């Protein structure tokens, strides 16, 4: 049996029950919450993934996401009836890792859950040792990134990156000066086929990543936009 715990935050009891039965059939342990307040009370280090509805009574899903991001990098999948691009961007800006609009197929939900949990286990390393190993890190300028777990330091200070932010930075740092198109970034990091709508997803995550690693996010030294082509890591400039 799968020991991973998924917290489903959804005020519609029928939808919540359907997701519980579906994920339970996949071997996951499912915790349920019908409101944002209940979700925050149930959240702890045992949770491996949060499926979160935006439209909740009381505290909204966006507020719950922002609160969770203050203390946790657990993957968050927004599940909502809102499908407009602005709503998707708002969710990602709040700290979500992925977004699935209702109505959705159970096959698509399971695929997203598997992908988020797989990446979280491999790159965040909940089941791996967190002992520092300098032989498995990459240093460029004032940044140092662990190659085997989600840890990044700037001048010796640990940065609080989400798993997606870590993977984007790792991809770019491992190939300095190489320009990655949005399609290449999406397919490498999300491990899913690229669609045009993924462009805004990548832009939001890179904007949030810059706020954490750059001295001046408006004038980035590390991750540069190459207009019309994509993004690249400026190794030389980052060392100055």
pLDDT digits (tens, 9 = 90+) for 1-26: 457 899 999 999 999 999 999 999 88
Query: Residue 176 above 90 pLDDT?
Result: no
Position 82 scores a pLDDT of 64
What is the pLDDT at residue 76?
A: 93
In the structure, what pLDDT confidence band is assigned to residue 126 with cuts at 50, 70 and 90?
A: very low
Query: What is residue 38's predicted lDDT score, i.e. its pLDDT?
Result: 95
Element (H, E) at 31: strand 29-33
Q: Tens of pLDDT along 17-76?
A: 999 999 998 889 999 999 999 999 999 989 999 999 988 989 999 999 999 988 888 899
Q: Which CATH superfamily is domain 5-124 in?
A: Response regulator (3.40.50.2300)
Mean pLDDT to the nearest integer, 212-216: 93
Q: What is the pLDDT of residue 129?
A: 32
Chain region(s) in the chain for CATH 1.10.10.10: 134-238
Strands 223-226 and 5-9 turn out to be unpaired
Nearest residue to 163 via CA among 133, 196, 189: 189
pLDDT at residue 240, as a whole number = 53
CATH 3.40.50.150 is held by the domain 134-238: no
Residue 122 pLDDT class (50, 70, 90 cuts): low
Which residue, among 112, 124, 99, 102, has the nearest Cα to 47 in the 3D structure? 124
> Taking all residues of the chain, what is their mean pLDDT, rounded to a whole number?
84
Report the share of the chain in percent with pLDDT over 90: 39
In angstroms, rounded to a whole number, what is the distance separating the alpha carbons of residues 196 and 190? 14
The model carries a pTM of 0.62
- Give me the pLDDT at residue 236, please: 58
Q: Where is 224: in which H helix or E strand?
A: strand 223-226
- Assign 133 a pLDDT band (cuts: 50, 70, 90): very low
Neighbours of 91 (CB within 10 A): 25
Instruction: List where CATH 3.40.50.2300 sits in the chain.
Output: 5-124
- pLDDT for position 88: 72
Q: Does position 125 have pLDDT exceeding 70, yes or no?
A: no
User: Residue 132 has what pLDDT?
Assistant: 37
The residue behind tokens 């290449």 is 184
pLDDT for the residue 85:
64
């Amino acid at each position: 049996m799968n020991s991973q715990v998924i917290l489903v935050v959804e005020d519609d009891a029928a939808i919540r029950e359907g997701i519980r039965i579906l994920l339970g059939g996949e071997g996951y342990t499912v915790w349920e919450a019908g409101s944002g307040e209940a979700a925050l009370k149930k959240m702890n280090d045992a949770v491996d993934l949060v499926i979160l509805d935006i439209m909740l009574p009381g505290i909204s899903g966006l507020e719950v996401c922002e609160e969770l991001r203050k203390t946790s990098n657990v993957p968050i999948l927004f599940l909502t009836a809102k499908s407009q691009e602005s709503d998707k961007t708002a969710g990602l800006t709040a700290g979500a890792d992925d977004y699935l609009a209702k109505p959705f197929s159970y096959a698509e939900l399971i695929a997203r859950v598997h992908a988020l949990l797989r990446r979280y286990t491999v790159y965040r390393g909940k089941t791996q040792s967190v002992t520092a190993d300098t032989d498995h890190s990459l240093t460029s300028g004032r940044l140092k990134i662990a190659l085997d777990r989600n840890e990044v330091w700037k001048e010796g200070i640990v940065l609080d990156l989400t798993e997606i932010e870590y993977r984007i930075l790792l991809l770019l740092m491992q190939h300095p000066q190489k320009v990655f198109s949005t399609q290449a970034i999406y397919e490498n990091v999300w491990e899913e086929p690229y669609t045009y709508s993924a462009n805004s997803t990548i832009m939001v995550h890179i904007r949030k990543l810059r706020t954490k690693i750059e001295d001046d996010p408006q004038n980035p030294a590390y991750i540069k936009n190459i207009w019309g082509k994509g993004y690249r890591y400026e190794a030389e400039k980052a060392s100055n």
